[in-house]
Amino acid sequence: MLGEIEKIEVAVRAQMINTLSLAFGPTWYADKQRFTNHRYGHDRTLQKLLDDFRNSQEEFIVAFRKKYSDNYPPCWMILEIASFGQISTLYSGLKGGRSKRAIAHHFGLDDTSFASWLHCIVYLRNLCAHHSRFWNREFGISPQMPNTPSKLWLSSESIFSIKGSHGKLNSRAYYMLSILLYLLQTVNPKSSFRQKFFLLVNKYPNIDLAAMGFPSTLENEALWEG
């Protein structure tokens, strides 16, 4: 999981840098007018980014500090050393508009769902990084159902079962894994993540897929085929 999440992180960072720097210039992340500061704490995020920039010993950062006296480095430098959590917070805090929608649309989602999924993936990344239990866990967050997914997604049967259980299944492993599969259609279409998952499950037949939230109709889920 961690390997695929890292690919998603790189893709999201690149898409934000490309889209927002073309629209608003290389230091868009420092422009408070672009953010709903009262809700997402843009000041705090910006200060953490700048602190990390001043303390970084990355060669390209050190060279920039020696050569330039700019208050804010270009986004393609500072976001390179930003955490995925900071990138997620920046996206969530952006005011709605064409650029925010364009980033989400690149991944086949509306901007509200994309923000919710980014928060979810940061949460999953932290679990993986700390080697926490995943398979039969009920997670502390329930990522949003996408309104108009433009890529292959879960069938109406799965969606109905999730809604029928009062949102419980979208806090289970099945839904989290489905989010990764959905995003990998854009990020890494030839990913073998699905195959590796089933190899692991088959290696340990005592693992109960139902405990992970997998539906009995999994064979009808095109997202999970292949």
Same structural domain, 92 and 142: no
In the chain, DSSP finds a helix count (H) and a strand count (E) of 11, 0
Q: Tens-digit pLDDT profile for the chain (226 aa)?
A: 999 999 999 999 999 999 999 999 999 999 999 999 755 688 999 999 999 999 999 999 999 999 998 889 999 999 999 999 999 999 999 999 999 999 999 999 999 999 999 999 999 999 999 999 998 888 989 899 998 999 999 987 777 666 555 446 788 999 999 999 999 999 999 999 999 999 999 999 998 998 898 988 888 899 998 6
Residue 117 covered by a domain: no
Note down the domain range covering 189.
137-224
Looking up tokens 């720097």 gives: 21
Same structural domain, 7 and 102: yes
Same structural domain, 92 and 147: no
Residue 209 covered by a domain: yes
Same structural domain, 10 and 102: yes
Residue 129 covered by a domain: no
> How far is residue 125's CA from residue 127's CA, in Å, rounded to a whole number?
5
User: If you ran DSSP here, which 8-state letter would residue 56 be given?
Assistant: -
Residue 152 covered by a domain: yes
Same structural domain, 153 and 99: no
Do residues 96 and 102 touch, judged by C-beta distance below 8 A?
A: no
Count of domains observed in the chain: 2
For 48-69, write each residue's pLDDT tens digit: 999 999 999 999 999 999 999 8
Residue 213 covered by a domain: yes
CB atoms within 10 A of CB 14: 13
Same structural domain, 100 and 151: no
For 168-210, write each residue's pLDDT tens digit: 678 899 999 999 999 999 999 999 999 999 999 999 999 899 8
Same structural domain, 102 and 156: no
pTM as predicted:
0.92
Position 59: which residue type? Answer: E
Same structural domain, 145 and 100: no
Residue 128 covered by a domain: no
Distances (CA, A) of 158 to 44, 132, 150: 39, 26, 17
Same structural domain, 12 and 100: yes
